[in-house]
Amino acid sequence: MPENSRVNDPTDRQLGLRTPEGVYATRDMGTFRLRQMGQKGAFRLEILVLFDSKGGNTYALAKAVAEGIVEVDGMQPRMRRPKETTPMEVIRADKTWSEFYDFKTAEIPEVKLDDLAETEGLALGSPTRFGNMTPALGNFIEGTGALWQRGALVGKVAGVFCSTGTLHGANELTLITMSIPLIHLGYIIVPLGYTDRGVTETTRGGTPYGPTSVSGLPDESAADVELRLCRVFGKRLAEITKKLRS
């Protein structure tokens, strides 16, 4: 079942984020450039938020992860998407997919290998495909051989998040399989853990392995607890990245 999102929401088109008081975010070539309002200090360290999304649900999770990242002073997210591999006739045959494809290709830059090399951490998000990440993300990850050979990503922090169409659609398995290539690349994997009570209270998505969402339930949109766990996860990634790089 396709993900769903209110792709015509102006806040989505501006890629707006909820940020700490006194700070607001604007889109600048897919990177959230945070501007201080009457405050001193520059944002120096970036975490790459790399996600695939077909109808918008994983995108909603990615935005929430980015909101968590900007809660940590000195940290900012860089939003990217992989090159689409779904045949265009399949995309255009589904109204939700078609609208969101047009939105994401216009607003989110396509990821390059330099995005991995230039950032200090990675939050990788995907809809599940039979317990794995999407082919689009998989193709990009398979192209990181040169970075692997020179150890360019060793010691950087990474975590994963995903969405599924059904309650038992392999969200935990997907998070595990997504982590495997990151381990080979030398990333330090940071899970969500039981760092928020929502992990034990949720009846939908949300696991100690990483944030998840179930997009095929009746309301077809990410629940508040799922988005809160994404923000907790993003903040955790940013805090640990900052500690390791300071």
Asked whether residue 2 carries a pLDDT value surpassing 60, the answer given is no
Nearest to 141 by CA among 104, 88, 109, 177: 177
| Position 1 in a domain | no
Distance from the first to the final alpha carbon of the chain: 43
90 belongs to a structural domain: yes
Which has more pLDDT, 90 or 39?
90
**Encoding tokens for residue 110?**
């396509």
pLDDT tens digits for 138-171? 999 999 999 999 999 999 999 999 998 888 889 9
Helix (H, G, I), strand (E, B) or coil at 97: helix
Helical residues (DSSP H) of the chain, grouped into ranges: 10-13, 57-69, 88-92, 95-107, 113-118, 135-142, 145-149, 171-184, 198-201, 224-245
- Higher model confidence: residue 119 or residue 14? 119
Of 115-119, 122-126, 179-183, 219-223, which range is least confident? 219-223
**19 or 199: whose pLDDT is higher?**
199
pLDDT digits (tens, 9 = 90+) for 216-229: 665 556 788 899 99
Total structural domains within the chain: 1
Pairing of the two strands 157-164 and 121-127: parallel
pLDDT over 90 percentage in the chain: 69
Is there a domain that residue 60 lies in?
A: yes
Measured distance CA(151)–CA(184) in Å, rounded: 10
Average pLDDT over residues 1-29: 39
pLDDT at 201 over 80: yes
pLDDT of residue 183: 97
Reference 163, options 149, 152, 153, 178; nearest CA is 178
107 within domain boundaries: yes
Task: Let me know how long the chain is.
Answer: 246
Kindly state whether residue 4 falls inside one of the protein's structural domains: no
Let me know if residue 2 belongs to a domain: no
- pLDDT of amino acid 218: 54
User: For residue 181, what is the domain's CATH number?
Assistant: 3.40.50.360
Domain with 172 in it:
10-245
Note the pLDDT of residue 22: 36
| 67 has a pLDDT exceeding 90 | yes
Confidence of residue 42 (pLDDT cuts 50, 70, 90): low
Surface-to-core class of residue 18, CB atoms within 10 Å of its CB (0-12 exposed, 13-18 middle, 19+ buried): middle
Is residue 80 within a helix (H) or strand (E), and if so which, with residue range? strand 75-80
Among the ranges given (35-39, 41-45, 236-240), the one the predictor scored with the smallest mean pLDDT: 35-39
- Report CA-CA distances (Å) from 34 to 72, 74, 117, 144, 233: 12, 10, 21, 29, 20
pLDDT score recorded for residue 245: 86
Q: Is the pLDDT of residue 215 over 70?
A: yes
Residue 96 lies in a domain: yes
Q: Are strands 157-164 and 188-189 parallel, antiparallel or unpaired?
A: parallel
Q: What is the pLDDT of residue 38?
A: 32
In a domain, 73, yes or no: yes
Q: Residue 154 corresponds to which amino acid?
A: V
Task: Please report where in the chains the tokens 């090159």 appear, as a residue.
Answer: 83
The secondary element (H helix, E strand) that includes residue 202 is: none
